Copies of this chain bind each other. A is one copy, B any other.
Amino acid sequence: MQYQDYTREQLLAERDRLRADYREIKKLGLRLNMSRGVPSPEQLGLSLPMLDIIHSESDCRAIDGSDCRNYGLLDGIPSCRQMMADMMEVTPNMVMVGGNSSLNMMFDTIACFMNKPVVKGERPWCEVADRKFLCPAPGYDRHFGITGYFGFEMIPVPMHPDGPDMDLVEQLVKDPSVKGIWCVPKYSNPEGITYSNEVVRRFASLNPAAPDFRIMWDNAYCIHDLTDSGDTLLPIMAACEQAGHPDLPILFCSTSKITFPGSGVAAMAASMNNMKVIKNKYKYQTIGYDKINMLRHVRFFGSFDGMKAHMAKHRAVIAPRFELVMDRIDTQLSDYGVISYNRPRGGYFVSVYVTHGTAKRVVDLCTEAGVTLTNAGATYPYGKDPDDSNIRIAPTYPSLDELSKAMDIFCICTRLASVEKLLSDA
């Protein structure tokens, strides 16, 4: 029976039971951080052989014989550009391989356009006082952090099961002060939603009023499947080229959750028009990024196919964790009508919607019981979830045993917060 159908007496009895359960489970003294999408030690172990690949001078030679230990190659070694191009489904000449972080490349791209217009004749964004950015929400808090830092007004766009609300996006881009949109198009952060072909085509067909409007296409989870088949995402660059808008998207990807977070390789891709402006920044910003690490990745994977094969090993480690989370929600919470969620088929999160007005309370209760979750609201621009409902669960880091205990706590807290809410609303 759902809590909303409980009588007041039933709710009070349930609250007392849950409070007792909560007191008991707090005694376990769990200390578990599930706030970020962080690979588990087992996953990190999968890439250890990569650290054992480059030893000698000859190991450091790129295909063309150039010495990767020395200066040179601003946009990365050709073999790595090829691999990352395959990952982003573009041609290598569109690709720049950067440092260890695609987030860094996104920040630097926005920073670039703040100071130099990406389209000749337009004002740099720092001169657009009422600059705005579209933020499909719930979304990735660090995306919102960047546009917040640079003073954009952030406009939330609701997420549907097939991607952002495109009717609204098409409406909003009629404002020339709207300069871009954040997208995690496959296994989105946090909901695990993959944009439908129609959504991708509507993105490619956008006609923004601002000639310098750009789609920040952060394909962070492009090969992070949790199922045999995996979702299919229409390649954005091909779609945009077909629609006659090759300059619309800027693509990002990395191996942070494939090899090592912090010691992976990040890359971006864009049309020649965009890359001309972006590389004109990079050529002053650096002499080049870590080519030995690029080489490590290329040697370890051989090719993009090798990278995909490697992801099957990750899946074997983390799929059971996702199963456990979803199983607990299904068996311990769904009967009470206190939760709904999208079953992710890939990515790094299970994004749940608890009873409106209780997300913050659930997170606080979990924290008090030793389970740290992402701050409630963090998945929305300005950290403000209008419904106080969305909670992002990151199941990859804890062991199955820890996760099991954490989910017990989460389920008790979710029920308790809902019961409290119903009682206080009554």
Contacts and interface: CB of A to CB of B under 8 A. Distances in A.
A60, A68, A284, most chain B CB atoms within 10 A: A284
Contacts of A36: 71
A103 B71 contact: no
Interface string A132-168: 0000000000100110111000000000000000000
Interface string A68-98: 1111100000000000000000000000000
Contacts of A51: 54-55, 59, 292
Given A69-B260, A115-B126, A107 B44 contact: no
B44 A67 contact: yes
A262 B285 contact: no
Contacts of A107: 284-286
Nearest to A103: B286
26 contacts: A36-B71, A41-B57, A44-B57, A44-B67, A48-B55, A48-B57, A51-B54, A51-B59, A69-B261, A69-B262, A69-B263, A70-B260, A71-B261, A99-B99, A99-B100, A101-B286, A103-B285, A104-B286, A107-B285, A126-B126, A142-B284, A145-B284, A146-B285, A149-B284, A261-B287, A262-B291
Given A51-B55, A290-B293, 11 more contacts: A36-B71, A47-B69, A51-B54, A70-B261, A101-B289, A107-B285, A111-B115, A114-B114, A145-B283, A262-B292, A263-B291
Interface of A: 36, 38-39, 41, 44-45, 47-48, 51-52, 54-57, 59-60, 67-72, 99-101, 103-104, 107-108, 111, 114-115, 124, 126, 142, 145-146, 148-150, 260-263, 281, 283-293
